[in-house]
Structure 1
Amino acid sequence: MKRTIATLAAATLAAGALTLPAHADRFEPAPGAPGLNDPLFPDLGNGGYDVRHYDVSFDFTPVTYDFAATVTIKATAVQDLSSFNLDTDGHLIDEVTVDGRPAAWALSPGRTGQELTVTPAEPLRNHRPFTAEVRLHGNGKAPRGGLTGWRFGPDGGFAAAVQASRADTFFPVNDHPSDKATWTFHMKVPEGYVATANGELTAKDGDVWRFEEREPMASELLGLAVVKGTYLYGTGPHALPLRHVVPQGQEEKYGPIAAETAGQIEWAEARFGRFPFSTYGVHIYPGYTDALENQTLSLFGTGWFTRPTYSNTMIHELIHQWFGDSVTPATWQDAWLNEGPAVYYAAVWAEEKGGEKLADKMRTVYGKLDAVRAKDGPPGRPKGLGGYNIYDGGALVLYALQKEIGERDFDRVMRRWVQRNKDGNASTEDFIAHAVKTTHRPGLDAFLRGWLYGETNPPLEIS
């Protein structure tokens, strides 16, 4: 029987022959890193600890946009910590405690916002759980060091649209997709307004709404809002609870659109398996102009629904619940793993509904992508976010993969990817390894590397 190092050490210790090195219990606290060296955003996130849970209390006053908040962070040190950082931007910090004791804190400029450096009364040991609490206040329209995550509507309210790095404009956070956590939200709002947040509405006590997001979530998927809206309810496949928020007084206009979600989820589940979260819905808000995959509650501007192809956009954001929300990129340079599937499957949906043929769309992308690769980088190594290389280029990678391995193996690759990595993080290298392992096809590693990292498009026959 094979004896592990741990087994051998235990046997030696029992014999009284093991001499522990003098430094085995050494305590050497040092500051946690003020960034995680993300290839695109090196200052985002913070080192030295792992967040397990956020508990956020948020008291917002419409029209004036003033707010007060308390964020309680349950985390575990992953090194001996003398201090640690949180990402924040544009707030007035009132008090910081660690494990109930006052902590020293300081604000300094960061690349996209500010760094809040917290120094506990006593250093924290590696592997030790701790609780940090930050009390703050501010105004949603106050100046920020970078872009803001606040979106304001004509109702005097707001909706959060924080991707990629603007959760810190609401409260201090470890703002990188690799540090997913569970969340509790207590949203205090005045009469005439409703609150939204990620997860399930589990209680409403007077003017305080409590939401629980029990599945791990990256901070960039934050879905807070205080609006003049109406909740609409439905049921999806497997009795999945659906809740939607539409503008107050426009229930008849947007109710039928929201009701389409159940059938859209059924369509997606046929490809990827069960919906990965305990609830889903859409939030339609006149204060927003884009569409965003906030976890469990996708956000849409009202303008999308003036287009006959609006369901393509709804499918795009729904697919993100699997690709991007449940399986979150390890770094922002892996963002094609979010956008590629969303664009690809929205195009599949569009063709099924009588729209543009997938092959025609991919032919157009193929013709444009070489120039985009040269300027913005290939799909797997983009130089920034939001580009054609990540969205349509990522979809083209998947189209080429489907042509290379066949529809049956392609479906297995995509379904098993989201099932094996549920609630976690994964990288482009992980996807390549997964595709090779799933299909056992010789040469597939080199094939995918050419498409993801190559300076030019590999040959592709589109018919």
Structure 2
Amino acid sequence: MRDPYFPKAGNGGYDVTHYALALAYDPGTHHLTGTARITARATRDLSAFDLDFEGMDVRSLGVDGKDARWNRSGQELTVRPREDLRKGRTFRTTVRYSGTPVTITDPDGSREGWLRTADGALALGEPTGSMAWFPGDDHPSDKASYDIAVTVPKGLQAVSNGELAAGPTTRGNRTTYTWHTAEPMATYLATVAIGHYDISRTTTRSGLPVYVAVDPQQAAASRKVLAKLPEIIAWEEAAFGPYPFSSTGAIVDRPEDAGYALETQNRPVFPGAPETGTLVHELAHQWYGDSVTPKSWRDMWLNEGFATYAEWLWDEDHGGDTAQQSFDANYRRKSAWTFPPADPPGAAHISDSPVYERGAMVLHKIRLTVGDAAFRAILTGWAATHRHGSANTADFTAYVEKKAPGKDFDEIWKDWLYGKGRPAHE
């Protein structure tokens, strides 16, 4: 599908089911060597197909064990297999590449892709950064399982999504960590963090594995808030339904390593010790954004509105402002009304205030319309219905209307979700 905000991202004609990535990185030379084995199913007859891949050099490329022709134009890596791929066929593309991975600057000025850090690197992908370190179908609507093996100089660690399936295994002066993510994951949620980390492995009361990696310089400042992680997960399970993945945790790097937190699947990344509200927000994304992923970047409010409202609910349940008080405070802010949350004016604005705060206000208006019990059922039902899938705004509005028959949502959709300016509010 062609994304309305990033029309070059993502590719038609196939659906990726699995990425197997073997990476080797040397922070001293900033050199990355990679092999990507991409398993996909053709959704139509293909004589050629595209992968998103920015920078680095392609050393070889094959499809189903046979060398394939290829060419590059910008971020598009066009592959021409020796034989046409019929609709329904499962095929594997192997790309071997190396070079200096790039850092991508978003339309809003933020940095993503492969970020150099003081002692290693940090790979972040929202919205289009994953193509800086592996080729793929870089769009949130195409989710897959992952195996990511990372080899680094001995003494460094490599943390990624999912579970540590093998390693650390040291041979000579190199150590390899192999991570496995079984549940479907969008490319923008994949991460690799390389450096020195204090590692803790625990479990929640329900037995969910918790893997936390903290830069030693951030350990003292992070200890108290990260100790709340099991409590937050338990509270969010009560509010949103069963945790959708097989492990949880966090990665805390230095503040200068990234200018923002990100809900990377299984273990969100934080630039320095997070505040409690930020931890609540990024963990809520595991349900809303990671498990239920937007069909396009126009639907970003389904990520951020839900995660912001989770912060409001947490405060309400823990002696802070009620959700109504948070609603009222944000209603008075001019920045919330520059555009409707379901229709940002361009790629530079998909992370602006209306997507977060006004998105949360839409949810609060639904809550006021249907009542607390029905609203909680909508929160958990939405997460369950689209678990490990993708959804858009039309899917959500239809779901709400179906679950609350007889209620009128026209004003909410017209004025709060899609309307320009600040609606009247009593």
Instruction: State TM-score, norm by structure 1.
Output: 0.85
Q: What is the aligned counterpart of 1:417 among 356, 370, 382?
A: 382
**Paired amino acid for 2:201:** Y
State the partner residue of 2:84. Answer: 123
The CA distance in 2 between the partners of 1:408 and 1:365, in whole Å, is 24
CA shift digits 1:253-305 (9 cap, x unpaired): 53443221100101111101111100000100012332110000100011x44
Secondary structure in 2 matching 1:163? coil
CA shift digits 1:147-176 (9 cap, x unpaired): 541233222x01112101110011111000
Task: Map 1:286-301; keep pairs closer than 5 Å.
Answer: 286=254, 287-301=257-271
Task: Map 1:99-114; keep pairs closer than 5 Å.
Answer: 99-109=64-74, 114=75
Alpha-carbon spacing, 1:388–1:171, altered in 2? closer, same or farther (3 Å): same
The CA distance in 2 between the partners of 1:334 and 1:173, in whole Å, is 21
State the partner residue of 1:151. Answer: 115
Question: Cα offset for 1:80?
Answer: 0.9
State the partner residue of 2:392. Answer: 427
**Paired amino acid for 2:230:** A
State the partner residue of 2:343. Answer: 381
Task: Map 1:74-89; keep pairs closer than 5 Å.
Answer: 74-89=39-54
Question: Cα offset for 1:232?
Answer: 0.5
Answer yes or no: is the 8 Å Cα contact 2:362–2:412 preserved in 1. Answer: no
Alpha-carbon spacing, 1:280–1:145, altered in 2? closer, same or farther (3 Å): closer
Question: Cα offset for 1:338?
Answer: 0.3
Task: Map 1:126-205; keep pairs closer than 5 Å.
Answer: 126-140=87-101, 148-155=112-119, 157-204=120-167, 205=169
The CA distance in 2 between the partners of 1:344 and 1:142, in whole Å, is 31
Answer yes or no: is the 8 Å Cα contact 1:52–1:74 preserved in 2. Answer: yes
Q: Which moved further from structure 2: 284-293 or 331-340?
A: 284-293
- Compute the RMSD of aligned alpha carbons: 2.0
**Paired amino acid for 1:257:** V
The CA distance in 1 between the partners of 2:103 and 2:367, in whole Å, is 48
Return 5+ residue gaps in structure 1 as ranges: 1-35
State the partner residue of 2:11. Answer: 46
Question: Cα offset for 1:449?
Answer: 4.0
The CA distance in 2 between the partners of 1:148 and 1:443, in whole Å, is 41
The CA distance in 2 between the partners of 1:221 and 1:101, in whole Å, is 31
The CA distance in 1 between the partners of 2:131 and 2:5, in whole Å, is 17
Answer yes or no: is the 8 Å Cα contact 2:55–2:102 preserved in 1. Answer: no
Question: Cα offset for 1:61?
Answer: 0.6
State the partner residue of 1:15. Answer: none
Answer yes or no: is the 8 Å Cα contact 2:164–2:179 preserved in 1. Answer: yes
CA shift digits 1:217-249 (9 cap, x unpaired): 000101111111121011114200000001137
Answer yes or no: is the 8 Å Cα contact 1:65–1:141 preserved in 2. Answer: no
Answer yes or no: is the 8 Å Cα contact 1:292–1:299 preserved in 2. Answer: yes
Alpha-carbon spacing, 1:57–1:349, altered in 2? closer, same or farther (3 Å): same
**Paired amino acid for 1:276:** P
Answer yes or no: is the 8 Å Cα contact 1:331–1:427 preserved in 2. Answer: yes
CA shift digits 1:95-154 (9 cap, x unpaired): 110000000111102xxxx11000001111111111001000011357889854123322
Secondary structure in 2 matching 1:189? strand
The CA distance in 2 between the partners of 1:52 and 1:330, in whole Å, is 17
State the partner residue of 1:448. Answer: 413
**Paired amino acid for 1:130:** F
Answer yes or no: is the 8 Å Cα contact 1:246–1:255 preserved in 2. Answer: no
**Paired amino acid for 2:266:** T
Return 5+ residue gaps in structure 2 as ranges: none
Question: Cα offset for 1:87?
Answer: 0.6
State the partner residue of 2:2. Answer: 37
1:349 aligns with 2:343: no
The CA distance in 2 between the partners of 1:148 and 1:194, in whole Å, is 21
Alpha-carbon spacing, 1:328–1:322, altered in 2? closer, same or farther (3 Å): same
State the partner residue of 2:198. Answer: 230
Alpha-carbon spacing, 1:131–1:144, altered in 2? closer, same or farther (3 Å): farther
**Paired amino acid for 1:194:** Q
The CA distance in 1 between the partners of 2:116 and 2:315, in whole Å, is 31
Secondary structure in 2 matching 1:294? coil
Bigger radius of gyration: 1
Q: Which moved further from structure 2: 385-394 or 137-146?
A: 137-146
Aligned residues: 413
Q: Which moved further from structure 2: 447-456 or 193-202?
A: 447-456
State the partner residue of 2:328. Answer: 363
Q: Which runs of at least 4 in structure 1 moved beyond 6 Å after TM superposition?
A: 142-146
The CA distance in 2 between the partners of 1:119 and 1:232, in whole Å, is 46
State the partner residue of 1:311. Answer: 276
Secondary structure in 2 matching 1:416? helix
State the partner residue of 1:97. Answer: 62
CA shift digits 1:84-103 (9 cap, x unpaired): 00111111111110000000
Question: Cα offset for 1:457?
Answer: 4.0
Alpha-carbon spacing, 1:184–1:299, altered in 2? closer, same or farther (3 Å): same
**Paired amino acid for 1:367:** R
Question: Cα offset for 1:322?
Answer: 0.2
The CA distance in 2 between the partners of 1:141 and 1:248, in whole Å, is 26
State the partner residue of 2:250. Answer: 282
Instruction: State TM-score, norm by structure 2.
Output: 0.92
The CA distance in 1 between the partners of 2:138 and 2:89, in whole Å, is 21
Answer yes or no: is the 8 Å Cα contact 2:281–2:311 preserved in 1. Answer: yes
The CA distance in 2 between the partners of 1:239 and 1:427, in whole Å, is 33
